[in-house]
């Protein structure tokens, strides 16, 4: 296993160190962007690391601040903060144009990163995006609009709501700052420019990101070559052996090397 490296980001009270695992290899680097409250030791990230090792492929994964072993409090996190970290890691560690693989929240971040990189750092503009149950605009569409009136009131008055999770015994803190800051990064109000093709993998039994949400994303993508694979019995995680095989096939479909 690669040794953990640390990337310093921000200054003053916003300073934090991000934990990074970077594997060298040949071909386009594959960059893993994990989900909300997930980390780089997740099943899919570990599976891709093993795949990259077998094929001598460069693979890059990291923990957002407040996730995994990176510094920072989860409650301080926002889409903009985690996007800043994603861009910093890609610019620091990717040697050439990458393939971005984003899961759930990471799918939203991958789309945002692709847009920023194409504009600001074209040498790192992605060759393609593989998005797993992409939770685009989730702070607005899949959280705020779905919360009860009581939960919304807690966020507005107390600044945080402890939302029960099916993936952890502990509730997830949903902060007012997360919701409000997320409004600055919404994508579904217009055409989404990626600068590259996109392959979406979406389970139709996903209770967190409905498959129709993924179809809405497809309607907004500008790239004609973008495709979606709907997995009828697939859940949100898509971590079964057959799901992982589909994930690798989608990546290799962009870059067979």
- Cβ-in-10-Å burial (0-12, 13-18, 19+) of 245 comes to exposed
How many other C-beta atoms lie within 10 A of the C-beta of residue 21?
20
- What is the rounded end-to-end Cα distance, in angstroms, of the chain? 22
Give CA–CA dist 65/161, Å, rounded: 20
Nearest to 28 by CA among 100, 106, 85, 81: 100
Nearest C-alpha neighbor of 217 from the set 129, 158, 88: 129
236 carries an active-site annotation = yes
The C-alpha atoms of residue 56 and residue 23 are separated, in whole angstroms, by 9
The dihedral region occupied by 172, where left means phi > 0, alpha psi between -120 and 50, and beta the remainder, is beta
76 is catalytic: no
How far is Cα 128 from Cα 151, in angstroms, rounded to an integer?
Answer: 38
Q: Of these residues, 38, 42, 86, 104, which one is catalytic? A: 104
Whether 206 is a known active-site residue: answer yes
Q: Which of 67, 185, 213, 236 is catalytic?
A: 236
Q: Which of 137, 206, 208, 243 is catalytic?
A: 206
Active-site positions read: 104, 206, 236
């Amino acid at each position: 296993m690669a040794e953990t490296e640390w990337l310093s980001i921000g200054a003053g009270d916003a300073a934090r160190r991000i934990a990074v695992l970077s594997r060298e290899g040949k071909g386009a680097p594959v960059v893993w962007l994990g989900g909300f409250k997930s980390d780089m030791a997740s099943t899919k990230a570990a599976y891709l690391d093993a795949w990259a090792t077998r094929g001598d492929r460069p693979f890059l994964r990291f923990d957002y601040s407040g996730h995994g072993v990176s510094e920072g409090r989860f409650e301080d996190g926002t889409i903009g903060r985690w996007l800043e970290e994603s861009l910093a890691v890609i610019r620091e560690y990717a040697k050439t144009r990458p393939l971005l693989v984003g899961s759930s929240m990471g799918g939203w971040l991958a789309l945002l990163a692709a847009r920023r990189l194409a504009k600001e750092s074209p040498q790192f503009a992605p060759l393609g995006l593989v998005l797993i149950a992409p939770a685009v605009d989730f702070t607005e569409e899949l959280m705020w609009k779905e919360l009860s009136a009581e939960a919304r009131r807690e966020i507005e008055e107390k600044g945080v709501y402890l939302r029960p999770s099916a993936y952890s015994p502990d509730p997830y803190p949903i902060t007012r700052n997360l919701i409000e800051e997320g409004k600055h990064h919404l994508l579904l109000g217009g055409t989404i420019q990626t600068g590259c093709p996109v392959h979406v993998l979406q389970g139709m039994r996903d209770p967190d990101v409905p498959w129709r949400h993924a179809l809405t994303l497809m309607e907004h993508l500008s790239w004609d070559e973008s495709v979606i694979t709907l997995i009828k019995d697939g859940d949100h995680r898509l971590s079964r052996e057959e799901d992982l095989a589909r994930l690798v096939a989608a990546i290799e479909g962009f870059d067979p090397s």
